[in-house]
Chains A and B, each alone.
Chain A
Amino acid sequence: SAVISQKPSRDICQRGTSLTIQCQVDSQVTMMFWYRQQPGQSLTLIATANQGSEATYESGFVIDKFPISRPNLTFSTLTVSNMSPEDSSIYLCSVFPGQGRGYTFGSGTRLTVV
């Protein structure tokens, strides 16, 4: 299965600032996915990052708040912009190895906004 390197693993940020999270995959993948997991909650899909086109955002998430880059088939970034304490969460990138198989996740970024 794919190996994903995600960084930073954690950060504490001031409100109003932005943080960019990076994910590097050891193989080429068509789609990469960004999830958020708030404390005590399950995973919520933020957006799907497609190489060569704009990301597709889920309801409740907008590009201005969570801009995504996907410059090639092995890399993606998610930026959490103009952060507030409500953005404190774990952010996870993931890839889908193939039909009928589950996701593989990066190790996550634990974000605390103060």
Chain B
Amino acid sequence: RKEVEQDPGPFNVPEGATVAFNCTYSNSASQSFFWYRQDCRKEPKLLMSVYSSGNEDGRFTAQLNRASQYISLLIRDSKLSDSATYLCVVNLNNFNKFYFGSGTKLNVKP
């Protein structure tokens, strides 16, 4: 079983739509959670950390559900520029052990 699993998509949504991705993780000892964004042919860039209480940054909301071992990313009012692959990243209680999901591809269309 993979440490981190994501639906590869693609999610094709119109501009202005709300879209949500989930990511499940297998190790209940996981401590830190992140969403990264990767544009085509670019390196991954940190989008947001995911806190136990949930957190919001503009149109983006991240949630953590420890009981069910998943994290989610909600994007409201999608923009064309949101088109990218979104990587879920999980860190065990060992700061050099990060596990990357395979990514969820989002296409926002006009």
Contact = CB atoms under 8 A, between A and B. Distances in A.
Interface string B11-42: 00000000000000000000110101000011
Given A48-B96, A101-B49, A102-B89, A41 B43 contact: no
Nearest to B31: A100
Contact of B96 (A1, A31, A106, A107): A31
Interface of A: 1, 31, 33, 41-45, 48, 92, 96, 99-108, 110
B102 A41 contact: yes
Interface of B: 31-32, 34, 36, 41-46, 49, 87, 89, 95-96, 98, 100-103
A50 B29 CA distance: 25
Contacts, number: 48
Q: Interface of chain A, helix or strand or loop or mixed?
A: loop
B62 to A, nearest CB: 12
Contacts of A110: 41
25 contacts: A33-B96, A42-B100, A43-B87, A44-B100, A92-B43, A92-B44, A96-B95, A99-B95, A100-B31, A100-B49, A101-B46, A102-B32, A102-B34, A102-B36, A102-B46, A102-B98, A103-B44, A103-B46, A103-B89, A105-B43, A105-B44, A105-B45, A106-B43, A107-B43, A108-B43
